Amino acid sequence: MDRNNHFRRSFALLILLTLVPTTGCLNLVATLLYPPNEVQARYKGLEEQKVVVVCIASPSFRSETDTSRNLAVMVEKLLGANVPDIKIIAQQKIDDWQDTSNWDRLDARKVGKGLNADMVVAIDLAHLEIQEHPSMYKGKADFSVTVYDMNEKGKPTYEATDQTLDFPANGTFSTASLTEDKFRRKFMQSIAVWIAHDFYNHNAHDYLALDETFVTNK
């Protein structure tokens, strides 16, 4: 099943699951309708490598520096927890390097070179919007991901360009049920999971599990 179609199907199921009163029943229905299905990583070149994650956000964003850094932190945590024998260079080291370097924030490979990374996961966050209406939230993000091999003079070894993510894929979330900050965090988490899944084997239904948090933790 196409990745985007599966994501939309999962959120359509979420609407049905909101009618079930308990978390246990939610998980049971989800398991019955969507049995576990492991998806293979699209790119496994990060395994056993020293990796830096860099996110560059459009300057038009509100607090674009915080947005890009927060997304990078979320992605690196997922990679660190799931990619075999990966060595993550923490964002704090990137911050320290930036303080002493003349980086124009245009070429992520300069960070990789400066920190002696083997691989750079570069996220270009071109657009991120939270549509706030009087009664609902809806998120949309446009982004691209490129992996550069610093041991091959920064050669691109993986690209996932021109991606668009709507959150939720079907419907909206009520402004009465959660704050904008909480919605923003969950939206960012969904982008991070979407990106990180390219690099390790995962359950195809993780997005449904992610969105259940809105149902059970209001």
84-122 pLDDT per residue, tens: 999 999 999 998 998 888 776 778 999 999 999 999 999
Q: Are residues 51 and 141 in the same domain?
A: yes
Per-residue pLDDT of 173-217, as tens digits, reads: 777 778 888 888 888 999 999 999 999 999 877 766 665 444 444
Q: How far is residue 198's CA from residue 181's CA, in Å, rounded to a whole number?
A: 27
The reported pLDDT for the residue numbered 79 is 97
Question: What letter does residue 141 receive in the DSSP assignment?
Answer: E
Same domain (yes/no): 131, 218: no
**Contact 146/159 with Cβ under 8 angstroms?**
yes
Query: Do residues 52 and 32 share a domain?
Result: no
Sequence-distant (6+) residues with CB within 8 A of 166 are 138, 139, 140
Pair 45, 35 in one domain: no
Q: Are residues 54 and 158 in the same domain?
A: yes
Task: For residue 124, give the CATH number of its domain.
Answer: 3.40.50.10610
Q: Contact at 8 Å (CB) between 57 and 68? A: yes
Domain that holds residue 27: 1-40+203-218
Whole-structure pTM value: 0.77
Please tell me whether residues 5 and 84 are part of one structural domain: no
Query: Which residues are within 8 A (CB) of 137 and not within 5 positions of it... i.e. 6 or more apart?
Result: 130, 131, 172, 173, 174, 175, 178, 180, 183
